[in-house]
Each structure stands twice: as structure tokens, then as C-alpha cells.
Amino acid sequence: MIDAVNAFFNISDQYVRRARLQPTLLVALPIALAVLAYSPEGIVHWGILWSVLVWCGATALLAQVARDRGKRKEPELFRRWGGKPTTRLLRHHGAPNKALLVRRHAKLKALIPGQKLPTAEAEAAEPSIADDAYDSCTALLIERTRDRKQFPLIFDENCNYGFRRNLWGMKPVGILTSAAGSGAILLGLITNSVPIRTLATVCGSVSLLLLIAWLVWFTPDWVKITADSYAERLLAACDSLEPQRT
């Protein structure tokens, strides 16, 4: 069984494991707990099944499912927040710290020769064009900070954001699996059809807690915390990057 678990997590890329695979495993956890509650003696056989699924590429498929759900729902997050996190931090409108904004703009202009950033008046007149300029700067920063060893904090925050975004993207499925799993275990406890009541109670409690988390905790505001942290770390990289060569 341990070998099966190790194989299941044997994905070389840390981002894929943290941001894509783990959300799908949380979604599937209540179903696995329900199976365990009803058939604790069959855990070895389930381990063999998992090994087969891993060999067939189940981990890669789960990671892609989480990514697709998260990316599909991401525009909705941006609409709720009033724009992309980095774009909001570069706007004149609503900037909480004008001095920091001026410094960020100056750094970006130095990093990207020929880059023009809108003034407050130009931004107010044509906000979409201004956002395009900010997005262009962000795209460059992302490309220039892909080295995980050189920018470990950016990578870590990106993983955190990807995990929460993808988890929120799978929220409807997570609610369904948590409700089904906890309901199935509760039924088993009522009808005495689970072999070990203590184990079933623990499994049901975990599923119920997950259901509460899906309903109350996993929200756009919860995702925004890590999105803003990632944006802050990304813009802070301007201090350590060298200007582009023309």
C-alpha cells in the first residue's frame, strides 16, 4: 500500500503536485473515506487498483482536470476582484501607496527600454489600454522570473495561488463528493452496516468538515489572499532584475 501511495505522488514537477494534483485528491478524499469506512479490510486491494491507475496515467489526468477547472474559472475571479492582481497593483486608480506605485513604474521602465506606462490622466481616459500596458509588463516579469532557484518566493506563492484557484474551480464537485461521502457514512452508522464504527465516525467527521470548508472557507476572497501575495512578490522582483538588452 505504501508503494502504491508513493507511486501515486510520483510526479516530478513540484508545481503540478501542489497546484494541480492535490486539489483533485481533496475532492476525491470523501469518496475514498466512505470506501474505507465500509471496507477497511479491502485497503490492500484498493492499493493494487491505485497502482494500476497510476501506471495508466491517472495522476497526470487528475492534474489536468484541476488545471482546466481552475483556468476556466479564473476570469470570474478577476472580474470579482476588479482585474488581475498585478494589474490592480500597477494602476493609479485606487493605489493605496502612491510613492510605491511611482517606484514600481520607474523600475518597470528601467527594466523594459522603450516601455511607456500611462499617466493617471491617460489611465482614467482609456483604462483598457492602460491595463494592456500593465499586463504586458506582467507577462515579461513572469517570463524573467521562471527560475525557481533564483526566485523561490515567487514560485512558492505561485504554487499557493494555483492550489487555491484550482480548488475553488472544483468547488461544485467538492461539495457533491463531500456531501455524498458524509451522507453514505452516516447512513452506514444508522443502519449498522459499517464494520468498525469508530473508523467510520472518524471518516464521516473528516468528510463533514470538508463539506463545511467547501461551503464556507473555499471562496474567491480566500483565493485572493494568495493571488495578491504572488503579485506582490512578482513586482518585488523588479529590484533584482537587470534591464533588458535591446
Structure confidence at residue 28 (pLDDT): 87
CA angle (60 as vertex; 54, 63 as ends), nearest 5 = 125
- Convert the pLDDT of each residue in 203-225 to its tens digit: 999 999 999 999 999 999 999 99
Let me know: does 86 contact 80? Beta carbons within 8 Å. Answer: no
Structural domain contains residue 88: no
* 167 domain residue, yes or no: yes
Q: What confidence score (pLDDT) does residue 32 get?
A: 85
- Alpha-carbon 105 to chain mean position: 28
| Residue 78: CB atoms within 10 Å | 15
C-alpha 26: how far from its chain's center?
12
| Residue 135 maps to a domain | no
Instruction: Quote the CA–CA distance of 117 and 132 in Å, as a whole number.
Output: 10
Q: Enter the DSSP assignment of 9.
A: T
Q: Note the pLDDT tens digit of each residue in 151-168.
A: 999 999 999 999 999 999
The answer to whether residue 41 sits within a structural domain is: yes
125 in any annotated domain: no
- Look at residue 166 and tell me if it is in a domain: yes
Residue 1: per-residue pLDDT: 40
Q: How many domains does the chain have?
A: 1
Question: In which domain, by residue range, is 233 found?
Answer: 2-82+151-239
**Cα 214 to Cα 216: distance, rounded to the nearest angstrom:** 6
Position 139 in a domain = no
123 occurs within a structural domain: no
